[in-house]
Amino acid sequence: MVSLRHRLYWKAPPFVKNWLASWNARNLDAERYGPEREEILRQIAEHDQWSAAQFVEYQRRELRELVRHAARNVPYYRRLFADRGIDPERIEGPEDLVHLPILEKQTLRADPVSLVDERLDRKKLVVGHTSGTTGTPVVLYRSVWLNSSIFAYFDARCHEIEGMCRRRNRSMSVGVHLVTHPARTKPPFWVHNRRWRQLYMSSCHLAPRYLDAYVEEIRTFQPEYIEGYPSCIYAIASHIVENGLEPIPVKACFCTAETLFDHHRRAIREAFCCRTCNQYGCGETVVFAAECKEGSMHLSPEVGIVEVVDDDDRPVEPGQVGQLVCTSLVNKVQPLIRYRVGDTGSLGTGPCGCGSPLPLLGQIGGRIDDVVVTRDGRRIGRLDPVFKDVQGIVEAQIVQNDYDRFVMRIVPGKDYTDADGRTAVSNLSRRVGDADIRVELVDRVERTSSGKFKAVICNLPRERASRDAEQGA
């Protein structure tokens, strides 16, 4: 069910929505951009002068401290080490991680509190949620320091590569937040967060009939950089290119959360006259990588240690694709050691031409989900937030069989109730509009040959969707 807060927000006039967006940013400033951030940025700047050997030693030192901290203060690891006879004093460096079991997302989902430092007052922590590429909801606990770290690394190791900084430079963002009612049929489909100098645009209204309005608003706002989901930015960029509209020059485009394809880059470069920068991370704060000017993805070693393993959980050589298993070094609040993130990828080889000593992340996979298509041509991707805050679901998959017919395959947890299914259906309806959404309880969501499953499957032929959108069906 849609909350009263959302209903009141959606009914508010645009100037009230803008005020509320700026007010919300003011409240978030303390946990993202407080004094902790300046200290973290200072540390990052100092580390940027290090050699590759210094980063290796840093990871060894931080890992030793993390494992000993987890053994003393985190109930899950205290029990695990005792049950498995693991001596935390014997973990001296990343090479010893193979002696520890892999932490599965299901374990974190089932009992997130057991992985939190028991000395902390959870009421004072920031609670977040992520469902990742598998649609599995996870509860995350963060301190102000950790939240500040996330945004500091993003600015210092991603935005700053192109000379940009959030809040300092005007930005246009398009992402997951429902900034206006999905059923709205006329502009504005966006809000202005004046505190952060940000134009935040809906990802749920990118239909051909509305794209001229999007383009005009961006042209009026004149952002210095763009960020968001590549499929959403591409929808706007391709509209500019295919209709021969005048480009809108910006200084950079930063993509996140979805796979960035070459055709995305080409359209964005032509429409916005800028380079597209990719980045990779996850809500669990176990890994962060960003693209340099040479096109390489550089890991931030301070954030976490990245392993790549095969289907039998054995380490593979750099350059070889496998499953990503990550250990967070920056997160002492809810330590995740050898956490299987649910994506595939590889470690890079050789030094980068940009001269940075930061290690390389090679290929990234596992984020190629389908998008659902509405009758008016909107393409809505990254639907994992549909399952946020729904604790009774182990994993789920959304299948679209027609514009207004969906099947939601749900693997129920022990605490699952019909209310959980109704909440997930309501969350999906808010994004796709009126539709027949059927919940199907299953024991397991079918996997692909690679052992993973797609969180979203669209069974609409692409040519039909394109034809109907053009005809305004």
Q: Strand locations in 348-419, DSSP E?
A: 360-364, 372-373, 379-380, 393-402, 405-412
At residue 101, the pLDDT reads 97
SS3 for 82?
A: helix
CATH architecture classification, 35-142+282-364:
3-Layer(aba) Sandwich (3.40)
At residue 3, the pLDDT reads 65
> pLDDT-based confidence at 11, cuts 50/70/90?
confident
Q: Dmax of the chain from CA atoms?
A: 67
Q: Which residues, other chains included, contact 339 with Cβ-Cβ below 8 Å and sequence gap of 6+? A: 102, 103, 105, 108, 284, 286, 325, 326, 327, 328
239: which 2 tokens?
A: 């509209």
Segment 358-372 mean pLDDT: 76
Does the domain formed by 4-32+156-279 have CATH 1.10.287?
Answer: no
- Mean pLDDT score across all residues of the chain: 89
Q: Which of 6-10, 60-64, 147-151, 200-204 has the weakest average pLDDT?
A: 6-10
At residue 297, the pLDDT reads 96
Q: What is the DSSP letter of 46?
A: H
SS3 for 395?
A: strand
Residue listed under structure tokens 């009141």: 8
> pLDDT-based confidence at 158, cuts 50/70/90?
very high
Task: Indicate the domain borders of the chain.
Answer: 4-32+156-279, 35-142+282-364, 372-471
At residue 368, the pLDDT reads 43
pLDDT 10s digits, 437-462: 999 999 877 765 434 467 788 888 75
More confident residue, 207 or 197: 197
CA dihedral 317, 321, 323, 329 (to 10 degrees): 60
At residue 327, the pLDDT reads 98
Tell me if 35-142+282-364 shares its fold with 372-471.
no
343: which 2 tokens?
A: 């994506």
Q: How many other CB atoms are found less than 10 A from the CB of residue 371?
A: 19
**Quick one: what percent of the chain has pLDDT higher than 90?**
64
Segment 93-120 mean pLDDT: 95
Q: Which of 326-335, 389-398, 415-424 has the weakest average pLDDT?
A: 389-398
> CA dist 260 to 143, 160, 367, 368, 429, Å?
31, 20, 10, 9, 27
For 372-471, CATH number out of 3.40.1800.10, 3.30.300.30, 3.40.720.10, 2.40.160.50 equals 3.30.300.30
- Check whether the bond before 188 is cis (ω within 30° of 0): yes
At residue 212, the pLDDT reads 96
Task: Give the integer Cα–Cα distance in Å for 11 and 456.
Answer: 30
Task: Using the CB atoms, write b or e for 304-339: b if 16+ within 10 Å.
Answer: bbbbbbeeeeeeeeeeebbbbbbbbbbbbbbbbbbb
Task: Give the integer Cα–Cα distance in Å for 301 and 329.
Answer: 8
Q: Which residues, other chains included, contact 83 with Cβ-Cβ below 8 Å and sequence gap of 6+? A: none
